[in-house]
Amino acid sequence: MKKIIVLILIAGTQLLSSCGSEKLDMAEAKKTAESAINYMGNKKFDDLYNLYTNDFAHSERKEVREAKINEIITVIGAVENYTLIDSVAQDNFGEESNILLTYQVKHANLTSKELFTIILEDGKYLIAKIDIQGK
């Protein structure tokens, strides 16, 4: 009986460890977010779109999202520089790992705070969410 309990505990531990989140590479996530900042600032929407996860890309028609970003960039101006102000890796048990990156982005007309949620999808670091806030 004791052997059966031990075997159940071992099997349960192995099962739980296989459900854990995958560790993500912070440097790769930063490359994705910084590419997105540059693509948005230069209105390279096709390149930007290629950085989106499937769910994010299909959550809104491409033309509608491009029009919104174009309008924002027209108002705030081109990107002059940016600084990473916060980075958090989230490896919550049983949930998809992600990295949250917050940048302060100086545009020609104002400074914004831009939050990127990056995940690993099909072997690529992609954007699952973007939040742009004016200051």
Note whether residue 9 is domain-resident.
no
Coil/strand/helix, residue 48: helix
Note whether residue 1 is domain-resident.
no
Domain range for 98 is 23-134
Averaged pLDDT of the chain: 86
Note whether residue 16 is domain-resident.
no
- Helical H segments across 24-132, by residue range: 26-41, 45-49, 54-57, 62-76
* Residue 6: predicted pLDDT: 46
* Residue 16: predicted pLDDT: 46
Write the CATH number for 130.
3.10.450.100
* Residue 134: predicted pLDDT: 80
Quickly count: other Cβ atoms within 10 Å of residue 29's Cβ. 24
Note whether residue 113 is domain-resident.
yes
* Residue 99: predicted pLDDT: 97
* Residue 49: predicted pLDDT: 93
Note whether residue 6 is domain-resident.
no
Give the integer Cα–Cα distance in Å for 66 and 63: 5
Low-confidence ranges of the chain (pLDDT < 70): 1-22
